[in-house]
Structure 1
Amino acid sequence: MRTHRVAFAVSGSFMSIFFLMLVNFLTTPGELWFVHPAFALLQWPLALYYAGTGRIKAYSLASTVLIIAYLAYQNIVNSPDYPWILYAGFAVVWWPILMYAGRFAGTLAMALAGSFCIIIYYGLLNLLLAPQFPWIIFPAYAVLWWPMSIYFSQRRQWFSFALCASLLTCALFIMVNAVTSPSDIWAIYPIFAVIWWPLSMYYFVKKPTV
């Protein structure tokens, strides 16, 4: 029964893609718009073949290859002067990486290694492709929550987590303030709001009641 469903999905997808391609070439030959629905239609047989049999890891790998191929096509056709696929492609490949990592994906070691790789990779892209503005501070800020959350949650140190997270957030505001508008010190306003998090954790959770 499963083989029949997969065969039906494959035939249905390719028939639909062929029909859309025919309509594309007959009506608007100067614009290849059939590629977009074709990308979505190919996910149907992939999902039935891999995910339908519980092979989620293999499905993540096959689907990632398809996504990267689609993004690469869009990059080459629509904006060949700027390789934005380097930004999106690296983010997409983390899906199969984490799937194949298995139980190791939820460990602190994986979080540290992953955060380090992401920061270094996008930092190099920032330096080589867009050195005008240090936008790496934003993905670095986001990805550092990964190991920090695992470390403090494993030890159930909620006050320390709130303190470190607040310091990280304050550092982000200070850096953005210094880079974007150094003559106007506005970072003090969001920092004042952020510090209430560890303060409330200390006075209502950590500090013993008298």
Structure 2
Amino acid sequence: MRAAHVKFSIAACLMTILFLAITNYLTSPEHPWFLYPAFFLILYPVTMLLIYKKQSKLYSVICSLLTIGYLALINYFTSSDHLWVIYPAYLFLWWPITLYVGKWAKTVQYAVLVSLLTILYYGALNFLFSPDHPWVIYIAFLVLWWPIALHYSYKRNFFGLSIAGTILSALFFITANFITTPHTIWAIYPIFLMLWWPLSMYYFSYARKSKSE
């Protein structure tokens, strides 16, 4: 990729954004719709430039900040009374962080740290802005799969993974049942289905050992 291609992409995108902004102002100034295509038009030359320079880490930083800034603008212009940008912004920050930590991002310790920080962050948002329903349990259930799966996969202990995954799922279903509909016990149905996972893994391992003997 030549430098001339990068310069052309920058010039073309800037001209397109200017044209859309003028059109937006002349036709419908009450709503800045040109921001939607402008975001992707800005990403294009940034991608071209940083790929040309082989700066993947810097690319992750710039793209994350651009995305957060774009979402903040949309938040401001469409629903300024509700600060929803703080929910996805946290997730975009982990893209450059994960690249910069390098090989440590593949460890169980990193997975545990990120999972706990994620639960604490969204737990705080849950408590501050919508304490009437503890929706953080759904996020916690999802992110905890990461360190659990990583731990047992590195040990190649898939039976242990099935046990840990079943326990985590059972706790989640029981908690969700108690919070949402405490007068109707429905958690036993998905828990019963989840029990077949460790049972099948156990008998599969037992069958393999019997054949090997």
Q: Give the alignment's TM-score, normalised by structure 1.
A: 0.96
SS of residue matched to 1:95: helix
For structure 2, the 5+ residue unaligned runs are: none
For the 8 Å contact 1:159–1:206, the answer to whether it is kept is no
State the distance in 2 between where 1:61 and 1:206 align.
49
Please list the CA deviations of residues 130-169 of structure 1 after superposition, one character each: whole Å capped at 9, or x if unmatched: 1010001011011101111111111111100011001101
For the 8 Å contact 1:43–1:63, the answer to whether it is kept is yes
For the 8 Å contact 1:122–1:136, the answer to whether it is kept is yes
Superposition map of 1:41-190 within 5 A: 41-190=41-190
Q: Aligned residue for 2:210?
A: 209
Instruction: Write the letter of the residue equivalent to 2:77.
Output: V
Please list the CA deviations of residues 23-70 of structure 1 after superposition, one character each: whole Å capped at 9, or x if unmatched: 111111111100100001001111011123321111111001100000
State the distance in 2 between where 1:122 and 1:31 align.
31
Deviation, 1:76, is 1.4
For the 8 Å contact 1:17–1:34, the answer to whether it is kept is yes
State the distance in 2 between where 1:11 and 1:31 align.
25
For the 8 Å contact 1:68–1:89, the answer to whether it is kept is yes
Deviation, 1:99, is 1.2
Deviation, 1:81, is 1.5
State the distance in 2 between where 1:62 and 1:104 align.
22
Tell me: CA distance 1:206–1:129, structure 2 relative to 1, closer, same or farther (3 Å): farther
How many residue pairs align between the two structures?
Answer: 210
SS of residue matched to 1:209: helix
State the distance in 2 between where 1:25 and 1:7 align.
27
Instruction: Write the letter of the residue equivalent to 2:9.
Output: A
State the distance in 2 between where 1:87 and 1:51 align.
29
Tell me: CA distance 1:119–1:206, structure 2 relative to 1, closer, same or farther (3 Å): farther
Deviation, 1:206, is 4.5
Deviation, 1:209, is 2.0
For the 8 Å contact 1:159–1:202, the answer to whether it is kept is yes
Please list the CA deviations of residues 64-101 of structure 1 after superposition, one character each: whole Å capped at 9, or x if unmatched: 11000001111112111221111110011111111111
Deviation, 1:190, is 0.8
**Identity across aligned pairs (percent)?**
40
Deviation, 1:2, is 2.4
State the distance in 1 between where 2:122 and 2:134 align.
10
Q: Aligned residue for 1:25?
A: 25
Q: Does 1:13 align with 2:19?
A: no
For structure 1, the 5+ residue unaligned runs are: none
SS of residue matched to 2:210: coil
State the distance in 2 between where 1:121 and 1:23 align.
41
Q: Pairwise CA RMSD of aligned residues? A: 1.2
Instruction: Write the letter of the residue equivalent to 2:126.
Output: N
Which stretch has the larger CA shift, 14-23 or 1-10?
1-10
State the distance in 1 between where 2:52 and 2:65 align.
19
Deviation, 1:3, is 1.6
